[in-house]
Amino acid sequence: MNAPMTDEERFRKENPMSEFLRMERMPHIWCPGCGIGTVVNSFAEALKKSDLDMDKVAVVSGIGCTGRVAGYMKFDSLHTTHGRAIPVATGLKLANPDMKVVVVSGDGDLTGIGGNHFIHAARRNMDITVICVNNFTYGMTGGQVTPTTPTKANASTTPYGNYEYPFSLPFLADACGATYVARWTSLHARNITNSISEALKHKGFSFIEVITPCTTLYARRNRLGDGLDALQYYHDDSEIVHGADTREVDIEFQSKIKMGTFVHREKPTYLEAVNTHYANVIGDEYQLYGKTTPEREAEKKAQEQANQGSK
C-alpha cells in the first residue's frame, strides 16, 4: 500500500494553479499576509481563462519581493536588474512579437528606479502588460520609503513620517499614454483576474495597479495590524469608480481607495505605428517588421501559390 501523501506532496500535486507555477521552486519567499501571492493567483486564473498559447507568454520582473514572481511562474521568464523589467520586456516583445509579455514588479522597482522606462513604454503604447504590486514600500531591503508611500506614513528612511508627495500611478500612466489603466486591492481577487484578462486581450500598454499589504514592514511600522486588518481596510474603505478621472484617484494615508477600470482606449501600438508609418513613407520597399508566425506562414503560402499559378 502506498504511504499517504504528505501535506507538501498534496500541495504540489493538487494546487489548482500548479500548471502555471514552478512547483519545484516552492515554498516561495513571501511573508504571511503579503498580497503578492493573491496577484500571482489572479494572474494564473486569468491565464487559465484565456485562449492564449501558454508557450507564447513571458513574464519579466525586476528586483524586490515582487521581482521574484518571474522565478515562480512556469513561462519563459526573466528576472532582471532593479528597475529594468520594462526595457527588457520591450526588447523581448520587439524581438519576438508573437509573445504576450507581462511585467510583474513592485512600486519601487517600476516607478522609482524604473520610472523613466515606465513613462516611455506608456508613451510608446508598447504592447505589454504591466502589473504593479503596490505595497508602498521597499520590502526586500527592509521597509524604506518609495515614490508611492503616502505622505505622513512611516518608513525606515522616513522614521519621523514621510514628507514627500507620492505618485498616483493611474494618473501617471494615463498622462503618459497608457491605453488601459486599472486599480484594485488584493482583497478584490476576482476583479484583478478580470482586469488582467482584459489587459491580456488589450493591444497596447496596459497597466494594473494592485494595492497590497506589506504586513512585515509597512503595516507593522505604521501600526496597521496584520494581513486580515489590511483586507478589512480594503473592504471598508474602497469604492469602485469605473472611468474615474485619474486626477482624482490619489491615495492618502489610510484614505479611501478609488478603484476600477479608469482608462480603456484604442490607439495603434508601437509596432503598428512602425509598420504603418514605414509602409506609408517607404512603400513597397518596406520589409514589414514583426509579423506574427501565422501571418508570415500565410504570406509564404500565398507567395508559393502565386508562383505555382504563374508556371
Contacting positions for another protein (CB under 8 A): 22, 25, 55-56, 58, 60, 70-71, 74-81, 84, 86-96, 98-99, 116-117, 120, 274, 278, 282, 285-290
Comparison of 171 and 286: residue with beta carbon closer to another protein = 286
Longest dimension (CA), the chain: 82
| Residue 20 CA from chain centroid, whole number | 16
Rounded to the nearest whole angstrom, what is the least distance from the CB of residue 267 to another protein in the complex? 18
Rounded to the nearest whole angstrom, what is the least distance from the CB of residue 17 to another protein in the complex? 15
**DSSP readout, 214-255?**
-IIIIIHHTT---HHHHHHHHHHSEEE-TT--GGG----TT-
Comparison of 96 and 141: residue with beta carbon closer to another protein = 96
The burial class, CB within 10 Å (0-12 / 13-18 / 19+), for 18 is: middle
Rounded to the nearest whole angstrom, what is the least distance from the CB of residue 90 to another protein in the complex? 5
Rounded to the nearest whole angstrom, what is the least distance from the CB of residue 29 to another protein in the complex? 10
Query: Do 263 and 180 form a contact (C-beta atoms < 8 A)?
Result: yes
Rounded to the nearest whole angstrom, what is the least distance from the CB of residue 101 to another protein in the complex? 8
Comparison of 98 and 198: residue with beta carbon closer to another protein = 98
Comparison of 33 and 114: residue with beta carbon closer to another protein = 114
Query: Do 269 and 288 form a contact (C-beta atoms < 8 A)?
Result: no
Spell out a b/e string for 113-128, using b for 16 or more CB atoms within 10 Å of the CB, else e: bbbebbbebbebbbbb
Angstrom distance (rounded) from CA 156 to CA 162: 10
Comparison of 253 and 278: residue with beta carbon closer to another protein = 278
Comparison of 123 and 203: residue with beta carbon closer to another protein = 123
The residue assigned the cell 503596490 is 134
Rounded to the nearest whole angstrom, what is the least distance from the CB of residue 10 to another protein in the complex? 23
Angstrom distance (rounded) from CA 88 to CA 81: 9
